[in-house]
């Protein structure tokens, strides 16, 4: 395979990408000619848009953001538990570039733009999905919105990696059939973040996440003042459950296929973390990607407010500590109560006074050998 790479340099990225994972895993990839499938699992306000772009910007990746949004918005009185198998089956089809599954969720005259947040996918804004290589999202919106999904499927097939980012999954067990499917070579990247920082970010966006919160909370009648804490409890519980399933007692088909990353490690050392993730999924680090990562994590803004759902250059370290000065200690205490167990497992130290909270020289991130 090394010889192969030197002989056809044009396809070297794809070949390298396909060759690497086989060295690690005696996987079931025999039937899918080296294609790698990645689920980026995360939760709201945890840096998953940035992480999604880390994949989307890579030339070997076909990326879609949160396709389960279509499932959650299609039915009346949706509940997360009820919809999880529909979500699982949607993901399975999309990972295999079968977009006919979208018929259930799309209007008859589907366009590329029917796909949720389609312009954040580089692959949907460049050939073969689009006739041009769009320079930014607004140009993509203008020039790349064609009728039908044939070109989308083609684009999906011509990339060595299909990556789906999802925030609407709360456990791993429903994914077991995908991990055992001989047509898939699935890797799970699980992105978590300090629950206190997540809470602060949610708190700064009143109302915006209400629709999803109702579904996470299974339509239960919960006092408005408690909703955020209840959602945090669910999210933290799901981190625990996923981590325990994958690390503490993994079934054999899950071994070597799960990697957890903490937002804060990413913020402190983005290039190293991204390199590790690329290696885990068999993607090559490129000069362009290195530059993009540097630019995006070393900006000046704090990234709050209007651009809440965009990936803009910002100071990643500053963003990850913002909760310590901006959140009242009473709220911090509540979050620590509902998320204590998860925080301990993931290596986030609790603070026991307002003074501790505001003492920024006190590092709350514990060193953790996460897989």
Ligand X SMILES: *[C@@H]1O[C@H](CO)[C@@H](O)[C@H](O)[C@H]1NC(C)=O
244-89-211 Cα angle (round to 5): 75
Of 6, 9, 10, 136, the one binding ligand X by CB under 6 A: 136
199 close to 230: Cβ distance less than 8 angstroms: no
- Alpha carbon of 84 to those of 12, 29, 69, 89, 189: distances in Å? 38, 26, 12, 9, 18
Q: Does position 126 bind ligand X by CB under 6 A?
A: no
Nearer to ligand X, 220 or 358 (CB): 358
Q: What are phi and psi of 284, to 5 degrees?
A: -90, 135
By CB under 6 A, name the one of 135, 220, 295, 302 that touches ligand X.
135
Compute φ and ψ for 189, nearest 5 degrees: -105, 120
> Which of residues 145 and 171 has its CB atom nearest to ligand X in the complex?
145
- Please identify, among the stretches 112-120, 130-138, 231-239, 262-270, the one whose residues bind ligand X according to the rule CB under 6 A: 130-138
269 binds ligand X (CB under 6 A): no
Candidate list 1, 11, 138, 353; residue touching ligand X; CB under 6 A: 138
- Judge whether 279 and 210 are in contact, CB under 8 Å: no
Strand partners, 258: 188
Give percent helix, percent strand, percent coil of the chain, each to the nearest 5: 55, 10, 35
Q: Which of 12, 32, 139, 286 lies at the binding interface for ligand X (CB under 6 A)? A: 139
Q: How far is the CB of 139 from ligand X (least distance, A)?
A: 4
Q: How far is the CB of 321 from ligand X (least distance, A)?
A: 7
Query: Interaction with ligand X in 298-327: which residues (CB under 6 A)?
Result: 298, 315, 317-318
Strand partners, 164: 39, 64
Q: Is residue 174 a contact point for ligand X (CB under 6 A)?
A: no
Per CB under 6 A, does 154 bind ligand X?
no
Binding site for ligand X (CB under 6 A): 135-136, 138-139, 298, 315, 317-318
């Amino acid at each position: 395979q090394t010889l192969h790479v030197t002989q056809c340099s044009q396809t070297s990225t794809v070949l390298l990408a396909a060759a690497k994972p086989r060295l690690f895993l005696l996987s079931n990839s025999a039937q899918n000619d080296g294609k790698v499938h990645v689920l980026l699992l995360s939760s709201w306000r945890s840096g998953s848009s940035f992480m999604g772009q880390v994949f989307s910007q890579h030339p070997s990746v076909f990326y879609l953001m949160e396709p389960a949004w279509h499932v959650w918005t299609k039915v009346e009185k949706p509940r997360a538990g009820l919809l999880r198998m529909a979500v699982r089956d949607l993901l399975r089809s999309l990972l295999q570039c079968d977009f006919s599954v979208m018929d259930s969720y799309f209007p008859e005259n589907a366009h590329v733009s029917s796909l949720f947040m389609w312009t954040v996918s580089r692959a949907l804004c460049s050939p073969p999905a689009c006739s041009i290589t769009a320079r930014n999202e607004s140009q993509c919106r203008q020039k790349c919105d064609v009728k039908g999904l044939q070109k989308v499927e083609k684009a999906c097939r011509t990339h060595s990696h299909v990556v789906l980012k999802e925030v609407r999954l709360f456990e791993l067990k429903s994914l077991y059939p995908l991990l055992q499917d001989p047509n898939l070579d699935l890797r799970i990247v699980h992105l978590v973040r300090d629950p206190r920082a997540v809470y602060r970010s949610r708190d700064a966006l009143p109302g915006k996440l209400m629709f999803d919160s109702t579904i996470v909370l299974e339509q239960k009648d919960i006092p408005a003042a408690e909703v955020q804490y209840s959602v945090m409890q669910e999210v933290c519980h799901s981190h625990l459950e996923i981590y325990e399933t994958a690390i503490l007692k993994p079934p054999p088909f899950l071994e070597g296929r799960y990697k957890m990353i903490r937002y804060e490690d990413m913020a402190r050392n983005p290039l190293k973390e991204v390199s590790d993730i690329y290696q885990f999924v068999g993607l090559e680090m490129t000069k362009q990607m290195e530059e993009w990562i540097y630019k995006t994590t070393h900006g000046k803004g704090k990234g709050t407010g209007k651009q809440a759902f965009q990936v803009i250059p910002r100071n990643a370290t500053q963003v990850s500590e913002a909760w310590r000065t901006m959140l009242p200690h009473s709220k911090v205490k509540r979050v620590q109560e509902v998320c204590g167990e998860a925080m301990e497992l993931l290596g986030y130290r609790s603070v026991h006074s307002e003074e501790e909270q505001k003492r920024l020289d006190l590092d709350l991130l514990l060193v953790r050998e996460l897989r």
